Amino acid sequence: MMSSFDLLLRGADVIDGSGAPRRRADVGLLNGRITAIGKLGRGDATHELDLDGLVLAPGFVDVHTHFDAQVFWDPALTPSCLHGVTSVAGGNCGFTIAPLTPEAGPYLQRMLARVEGLPLATLEAGVPWDWRSFGDYLDRLEGRLGINAGFLVGHSTLRRVVMGEEANQREARADEIEAMERLLHESLAGGGLGFSSSLAPTHNDGEGRPVPSRLSSREELIRLSACVRAHPGTSLEFIPTVGLFDDATIDLMIEMALAAERTLNWNVLGVSAMSRRTMENQLSASDRAAERGARIVALALSQQMTMRLNLLSGFIFDALPGFAEIIALPLKERMRRLAEPTLRAELDRRANSSEAGLFRIFANWGGFRIDQTFSDETARWRGCTVAEAAEALGKKPFDAFLDLALADRLQTSFIPPLPGDDDETWRLRAEIWQDPRVVVGASDAGAHLDMIDTFAATTTLVGPAVRDRGLLPLETAVKLITDTPARLYGLRQRGRIEIGWHADLVAFDPATVGPGPVHTRHDLPGGASRLFAEARGIAHVFVNGEEVVRGGELTGRLPGRVLRSGRDTGE
């Protein structure tokens, strides 16, 4: 006699993702699906698991990741899976590694190394770079994923494949836009989740030039957005700018959404009690879109943004006037120039002028905290501010900042003094998370490996934000990172605990769940390292009915599914 269930999960507090109150129930799984919820009999399952004292929720859904390359050397997609994430969307911000040509591959490697903080040696050693179409790339991933993953089609990649070396030098001609349209249609038909692009001034390529998408015209962006309309279950993701939106920016986003007949989600809404005017301005794009029959939603972080910056990759610093040209130089020449007193004075002056705009906050050199050092000379300053080191050394803060970096061959990791950890801002975050114009996400997992720890966004929300700060009910928080993002991307039968739906589940201890301490892990191809944090309180993670995490450890199973538009999306 066959058992009714492959696995029976007993006695959990079930939070189903709908926002409804939790209830104590058993959940039965069969063939990767949820087949029963309630008080279930004993002895009718191949395996049983006691979840008494744990919350059972839908697996968390993260719509803003950059796992496109990491899937080849880390199919479990750590650390996201350790933090309860069971479905992700990659290919954001216009950066993908498919479609591909032999000429485009080396350029894309250098671009990703610069803009996503992925070590070039890792990209060279860990990725085969031998497919051509987007469908071919997705085919490579079938059967080798620990969690479910789908990927948008990136604008910068389309431009480079079609326009070659001129992709980030000029606007596209009519015939080139047509070629990009054909390539995008082919990629979406091959399973791409949608179209992504960026006009962000922080996005520069391996040579320090604007990434290709930044050279696109309004017409190009709208025409490429219109391509998704012909493909069910596709989406739009976009970075319009940094800071205040002017009328032209808002109108562009609305026209893109109208052309696509899709929701446009943009990245990223910064939440701070000090920046209410900017937030109100940015969220007004959603209101104006609604007036014209379009929908725009903002991606918002679930935590304070903590960055670790360095002058080796130069990310963020290259948005300051005069810095991009220097950071683009070979290491030896860059170090020589940064030692020049005349250049230092000029860089400091321009970074602290109105020319720097919003990025002027990153010119508070004395406020940077020294996070990691890489030489005996600099080791004693770890944990100090640059101001403290400067005073002890008898130097100006900018000189001390550069001298510390030079002593470490520019590897020194600095944490900038960013606002956002005050009680008023946390209350504002909780308000923003529940705004219908917002979706919680923006983890950037898989990118900026030496810089950010937002990969722990999910456990930060259900742990510290809910339990420690009491900002919102746990049921509401779970919905924000399960059903809400799943519905945004139209994931079929994922994001809730319902009979017949895919058995993507996470069981956690509400009393202890949260992110563990951030540390450096040396586990990348090519010998490189990354920032990493395990999760606390995550007891079990199931993907399509199979356990991929138990007690914080990987089980080695790879039941994840490649999420293809139309087949796995479309609601």
Which tokens is 544 given? 């399509």
**Rounded to 5 degrees, what are φ and ψ at 94?**
85, 5
Sign of the Cα pseudo-torsion (35, 41, 44, 48, in order): positive
SS3 call for 410 = coil
Round to the nearest angstrom and report the end-to-end CA distance of the chain.
Answer: 37
Between CA 366 and CA 351 the distance in angstroms is 14
Residues 258-310 have pLDDT tens digits of: 999 999 999 999 888 888 899 999 999 999 999 999 999 999 988 877 788 99
Q: What is the pLDDT of residue 1?
A: 45
**Rounded to 5 degrees, what are φ and ψ at 454?**
-75, -5
Strands 296-300 and 264-269 turn out to be: parallel
Query: Are 62 and 78 in contact, with CB atoms under 8 Å apart?
Result: no
Sequence-ordered alpha helix ranges (H) in 238-291: 247-260, 276-291
SS3 call for 250 = helix
Residues 6+ apart with CB under 8 A from 377: 407
Q: What is the pLDDT of residue 242?
A: 86
Q: What is the pLDDT of residue 420?
A: 80
Query: Are 141 and 126 in contact, with CB atoms under 8 Å apart?
Result: no
Q: What is the pLDDT of residue 78?
A: 98
Preceding peptide of 268 cis, ω within 30°: yes
**Rounded to 5 degrees, what are φ and ψ at 120?**
-60, -40
Rounded to 10 degrees, the C-alpha dihedral 280/318/68/63 comes to -10
Residue environment code for 73-96, b if the CB has 16+ CB neighbours within 10 A, otherwise e: ebbbbbbbbbbbbbbbbbbbbbbb
All structural domains of the chain, each given as residue ranges with its CATH number in brackets, are: 60-306+422-493 (3.20.20.140), 317-415 (no CATH)
Residues 43-99 have pLDDT tens digits of: 789 999 999 999 999 999 999 999 999 999 999 999 999 999 999 999 999 999 999
Could you tell me if residue 113 is left (phi over 0), alpha (psi between -120 and 50 degrees) or otherwise beta?
alpha
Q: What is the pLDDT of residue 384?
A: 97
Q: What is the DSSP string of 44-70?
A: -EEEEEE-TT-EEEEPEEE--B--TTG
The low-confidence residues of the chain, meaning pLDDT below 70, are 1-2, 571
Q: How many C-beta neighbours within 10 Å does residue 36 have? A: 19
Between CA 83 and CA 118 the distance in angstroms is 21
Strands 296-300 and 438-440 turn out to be: parallel
